[in-house]
Structure 1
């Protein structure tokens, strides 16, 4: 007798692929036994059933690597727990390098793996061939081997997760499609299905390639695109070992796994084909697309050079199935910023099986506890913004991201597709004088300026060494320290907060003292209940209950959502995003006051315009909100104005500053200067897993105010009990060492952490890195400074010095080493 739908549920999971089943499994394990999973057809019938099933763990982000490692741990025990076969084999994973640049990339990946506690062994071509005897290694420089990687049968492992979910109390309904979600006054009331209505407050949408169109009906943006992905299955190959590791050959764009004595071989072609651009067919399930041998032929030719046995192997099937890909190649997790209690797990870029166990765990924790178990910014749905609503832009960028799946992951690499999309009023001016632009959240931003007169070309040339813009950034850095620079930072996210309770609201969510007199500019963090840094921004108090908030370009959606969600519901306020209305020019450097004095009649003396204050002034006949602050460690102002006035203000400043040595500068000089001055970067040095005390930002927290704020209790406890990690700065004397972040930190020969960011300081003329020194028994300043340190850079130990104070003091013009 068929089960009847329950009238109510605590949470409804939509989608019976691996991520949906994993989410239901983990919710039930957390005690949410009235979780209901709805699958429109049969479990695995969307895209899970035709996945290749390779499970790799290493990513450039520690927490995503941890998520993938959780999948492996789960798959190791799932068969025993449920009694269902999963096809899981921990047979390891090989990754080849066939040129010196790729070998450098692999060595840096091995350092990253070491930093994150993952075993990754470097092998010679001969050693690699012993593990994979049927491959040719004439062109192989070296290889990396991860013993704990493996492979699984996607359908089997999903069915095992589904059984585990049922065993823990969840209910699963197949052939049950969700036709609507009832939303009233911004709150989910329940889901309508073809078999009835289920009252619920929480929906977790794990609908794979259907997710974007389904979520859009409820105002939720999920930027993913179905892309055709093909792999070949061979007949049995004589004398082929059954214990082969999975193999990735990125220089040939291909991957391999052994399957019942034959091979599965697929790849990521540079010219992928999108699918279902006009919508997914109504009855699409357990369905493959027509094989496209012509399109696959280049992959086959590349594969034949690696595995000659493929030339005579029988072809069982060329599988062509759509997979969901995203514009940045990372998957999408979390609560949608547009609709409370609507969670998303989708866009897995053909590594859904590797991610499935961990992604389901993370989503379940997020639902049950209101937050993920750790910072997952790289996969957070709130990383997206305005360009990700544009279907054409998403398609262009996703095609590029797919094509780069196996290409070199160069440091500082920029995407090229869909550009320009968002530009400041100065874009053409800056381009004409040599700007080399980067892109963030669709915005074109100057990274550095070429010297056109000296025949420099404003174009990045990528490498793992010093890149071609190194000297250009040195020029801009020198100007910032000695004269002045002007930087277009129009892309900053800018919010306006006002209303009867605006002051009380922002005082609650800001860890810093934002209740200073109007005209004050306050640098502050916003914390979660664990004291972790959720936002890092500046607040200008305009009036008693009016505030101007500025944060980083890429954090626009995240920070807006955080503020909106965490102001108590009884407070009355209005928060608006005014990013598009305001341009920002940052004038920084010791001569910036001299330049300002020529373009305004307002008092900009130190006494008349102190640090951390802001007010309206006039430049070139236009009203400009000038904020005296710096992220470069020099005297300077951020100048905020209406976009229509930006060009005239820019021209006035450049005209006045040219005789004094004013120079255009870009974001890479900002990075160089901020490293020297010790300013933290959210998403790298600080984030939800780091508190102000751990990050050396305790001075910015209003502990002495006596006022309560979100996260205060956690900070009080930490100040009393101490911390187990502390952010420190590291410098390297060897000029040839390039620090990029994720290099392993060794203290007295013991691994204690990794660099969160790295770069070069052109004033101190040294490579600089920041990272947390960790010790389970506690860390204090004495512990940090007492050690002898090395950094592991591409598996080479490099001596370094540790610092807890800024390397550069602009007041004294001193280098502190």
Structure 2
């Protein structure tokens, strides 16, 4: 047995497909002293029993790109390493058995085209011609993606391992990691049963073992081992070029294997595994088949593939797989420990993801940043509920059971609720609130009117949903009267210290070096000029700022700010979210309502836009920020949690005569679209700069230097290749959800990042980037003729670079 090195540049823990891919890519990037450690044998965790289907299309362009990279890698790997991989690019079929599913599939085909994949819509007979083993009596249609395929998981992992060693990495099997040496918050060494390796970077790709291992070092990885079963038949003449098949209405998938079939599925009543811990020494391990639970999948499969009734069964395989609460895998550097990277929780599509995930992790380790925006899988997307094992299990069971159910627009999870509530939760519930949930927070999405026969319950559809009129009602109140939004779930941070201004000025693109009482909307940029955070900073005092950001970005933004505070400065960052409730009072009557209960002057002269003051409302001290995300006069009233009910009651009572009502997050969305406000994670993110997003006005041109400044100034001088544009389709009945393809003069030019409806202008609205390799400016955008592809139908649309709504009286600029 070869001797362990005494030091390494990076240590990868785990010898499955993701670990081997990460080691391969690290070595390819020149880190030839990378070491991979596997406690048993390569693939012996879950990789060896994976089904091996490789699909590419996801709802995110970048995750689709990641999976597309896997396909490109698997195509060339055998020639590079001399080891077979079992890779076949035989395409993938997806079936639809009802009208709603057919709409979903057509929208998926549109998404595929948006992201540069050619997914073809087929008739039932055309689908059967590609997959002759199936019956098609219940089919409405199908979609075919020719570049999907399948691979042998163990073979492809061994090929990646050989490629890693050929490039200079070292792989050690039968080498268990016992501990990490951490000093002053930094990794110093990896301790194994065979010795110690000095190392400052660790990448944990340990599958279902990752959560327990990472927790020892204060890193939270919310994944759950689940039982997953599939059937392998004896050979019965199945063509070797048969595409992979997904039949979501029957909860099943299929692939050809040595003249037979692999058939598995996602039952609605899945089983957790190893709730009390993974058994000691478990490797190359399978579980006892649960025939009773599999029967429901088998019955559904027999209706699609009658030949299974007589095919011999080689094995009913039951293996544990890591699943996550939102169905997405987990990548990136831990927010709580520098240089501790994670690649885990692959939800039974680790083979499809493995090549791209390893590439992304390696780039992250070497360059200190992901190669592109990976927010849907970023480890920093998690929050407080994800530390709770019971919460994670309940939510993950629900997510597993929904793996093949309809992916409805605006769908909410039902499990593990409520977890975190505002002080107003019960009051709002009594008034008809229909709540949604964001990282454990209950938030009112809309309010039902029982007098109109409405119930606070979402009924999902790809058309106009049951809450459309209720949201329109709230939207009109925002524009014509006044509303209160309970936005207590906002993440809130305090930055204190004599150097707070200097520290924040380096991180923020806008000018935050303003006098106390100022409120600044700003982005925080990476070195490429990409937008890492989008938030507001209120200056409370010479040495203190109050930072407010979106609910879902609490972990991410806190981590970004903490990591980028310049060393040696006196600036202390704290999360104060739980101390403050937020009541957003918005609308043209907002001042009249507030003045009735405020002991302070809230006139425009005394309290102008983009300022904050501590005022008294009904006798309670309130931190009032005059700012808006709906495009109307208004204030965010930040109230100590213990006083929230009293302040809310006073406002509602005082505002009754002014038409003050409750409103929810879906009205916020419709209003912000009319005003053209950007949403981080959709319209803006690390791949988009302020110049591209139309936010250049929020970036200072003078003053102190800030991170990302050089990239922004370069774009200002040289121009850009994409611009964010607002679109309104000619047809008012079109429903936009985002990811619809943008066509300019008949050529594909991008896709919508957001979609919705503007109830003031009476039109659907979409935001999306118009792209061109030759450059894009305002003239280019406005000189084009546009269409949007909505579920396969081209709809003419008008482009605008200005807001569609102006509260000063100009309603529409078309």
Matched with 1:778 is 775
Q: CA deviation at 1:245?
A: 0.3
Matched with 1:230 is 229
State the alpha-carbon separation in 2 of the partners of residues 706 and 592 from structure 1: 36
- Structure 1 segment 705-744 matched on structure 2, within 5 A: 705-744=702-741
State the alpha-carbon separation in 2 of the partners of residues 160 and 500 from structure 1: 55
2:349 to 348, 351, 358: 351
Matched with 2:98 is 99
State the alpha-carbon separation in 1 of the partners of residues 640 and 284 from structure 2: 54
Secondary structure at the aligned position of 1:808 is classed as: coil
Q: CA deviation at 1:176?
A: 0.2
State the alpha-carbon separation in 2 of the partners of residues 706 and 454 from structure 1: 56
State the alpha-carbon separation in 2 of the partners of residues 549 and 690 from structure 1: 22
Secondary structure at the aligned position of 1:809 is classed as: coil
Matched with 1:428 is 426
List per-residue Cα deviations over 1:60-93 (Å, max 9, x = no partner). Answer: 0000000000000000000000000000000000
Matched, 1:529 2:527: yes
State the alpha-carbon separation in 2 of the partners of residues 132 and 782 from structure 1: 49
Contact 1:433 1:452 in 2 (8 A): no
Q: CA deviation at 1:454?
A: 2.0
State the alpha-carbon separation in 2 of the partners of residues 149 and 3 from structure 1: 39
Matched with 1:28 is 27
2:576 to 569, 575, 578: 578
Matched with 1:799 is 796
Matched with 2:461 is 463
2:634 to 633, 636, 645: 636
Q: CA deviation at 1:814?
A: 2.8
Matched with 1:14 is 13
State the alpha-carbon separation in 1 of the partners of residues 165 and 148 from structure 2: 28
2:360 to 359, 362, 376: 362
Matched with 2:557 is 559
Normalising by structure 1, report the TM-score: 0.99
State the alpha-carbon separation in 1 of the partners of residues 808 and 613 from structure 2: 24
Contact 1:49 1:154 in 2 (8 A): yes
Matched with 1:787 is 784
Matched with 1:615 is 613
Matched with 2:141 is 142
State the alpha-carbon separation in 2 of the partners of residues 329 and 287 from structure 1: 24
Secondary structure at the aligned position of 2:196 is classed as: strand
Q: CA deviation at 1:500?
A: 2.2
List per-residue Cα deviations over 1:622-656 (Å, max 9, x = no partner). Answer: 10000001000000000001101000000000000
Matched with 1:53 is 52
Structure 1 unaligned spans of 5+: none
State the alpha-carbon separation in 2 of the partners of residues 571 and 48 from structure 1: 47
1:477 to 475, 480, 493: 475
Matched, 1:419 2:417: yes
Matched with 1:502 is 500
- Structure 1 segment 679-698 matched on structure 2, within 5 A: 679-698=677-696
| Number of residues of Structure 1 aligned to a counterpart in Structure 2 | 814
Contact 1:496 1:548 in 2 (8 A): yes
State the alpha-carbon separation in 2 of the partners of residues 316 and 168 from structure 1: 39
State the alpha-carbon separation in 1 of the partners of residues 357 and 688 from structure 2: 22
State the alpha-carbon separation in 1 of the partners of residues 428 and 639 from structure 2: 18
Secondary structure at the aligned position of 1:815 is classed as: coil
Contact 2:761 2:812 in 1 (8 A): yes
Measured on the aligned residues, the alpha-carbon RMSD in Å equals: 0.6
List per-residue Cα deviations over 1:292-327 (Å, max 9, x = no partner). Answer: 111100000000000000000111100000000000
Matched with 2:269 is 271
1:308 to 288, 295, 306: 306
List per-residue Cα deviations over 1:235-276 (Å, max 9, x = no partner). Answer: 111x32221000000000000000001100000000100000
Contact 1:448 1:667 in 2 (8 A): yes
List per-residue Cα deviations over 1:80-128 (Å, max 9, x = no partner). Answer: 0000000000000000000010000000000000000001011111000
Matched with 1:809 is 806
State the alpha-carbon separation in 2 of the partners of residues 404 and 190 from structure 1: 41
Q: CA deviation at 1:732?
A: 1.3
Normalising by structure 2, report the TM-score: 1.00
Contact 1:485 1:588 in 2 (8 A): yes
Secondary structure at the aligned position of 2:135 is classed as: coil
State the alpha-carbon separation in 1 of the partners of residues 729 and 476 from structure 2: 20
State the alpha-carbon separation in 1 of the partners of residues 569 and 739 from structure 2: 42
Q: CA deviation at 1:813?
A: 4.8
Secondary structure at the aligned position of 2:770 is classed as: strand
Matched, 1:287 2:303: no
- Structure 1 segment 162-181 matched on structure 2, within 5 A: 162-181=161-180
State the alpha-carbon separation in 2 of the partners of residues 574 and 796 from structure 1: 53
State the alpha-carbon separation in 2 of the partners of residues 534 and 126 from structure 1: 48
State the alpha-carbon separation in 1 of the partners of residues 697 and 781 from structure 2: 19
State the alpha-carbon separation in 2 of the partners of residues 551 and 240 from structure 1: 55
List per-residue Cα deviations over 1:33-67 (Å, max 9, x = no partner). Answer: 00000000000000000000000000000000000
Contact 1:54 1:151 in 2 (8 A): yes
1:404 to 367, 380, 402: 402
Secondary structure at the aligned position of 1:285 is classed as: coil
State the alpha-carbon separation in 1 of the partners of residues 811 and 522 from structure 2: 27
State the alpha-carbon separation in 1 of the partners of residues 367 and 349 from structure 2: 26
List per-residue Cα deviations over 1:138-177 (Å, max 9, x = no partner). Answer: 0011000000000000000000000000000000000000
Matched with 2:675 is 677
Contact 2:800 2:813 in 1 (8 A): no
Q: CA deviation at 1:514?
A: 0.4
Matched, 1:439 2:409: no
Contact 1:447 1:668 in 2 (8 A): yes
List per-residue Cα deviations over 1:195-251 (Å, max 9, x = no partner). Answer: 0000000000000000000000000000000000000000111x3222100000000
Matched with 2:602 is 604
State the alpha-carbon separation in 2 of the partners of residues 36 and 499 from structure 1: 42
List per-residue Cα deviations over 1:640-699 (Å, max 9, x = no partner). Answer: 011010000000000001111101000000000000001000000000000000000000
State the alpha-carbon separation in 1 of the partners of residues 178 and 130 from structure 2: 50
State the alpha-carbon separation in 2 of the partners of residues 236 and 375 from structure 1: 44
Secondary structure at the aligned position of 1:402 is classed as: helix
Q: Out of 201-210 and 447-456, give the one that drifted further.
A: 447-456
State the alpha-carbon separation in 1 of the partners of residues 596 and 713 from structure 2: 48
Secondary structure at the aligned position of 1:458 is classed as: coil
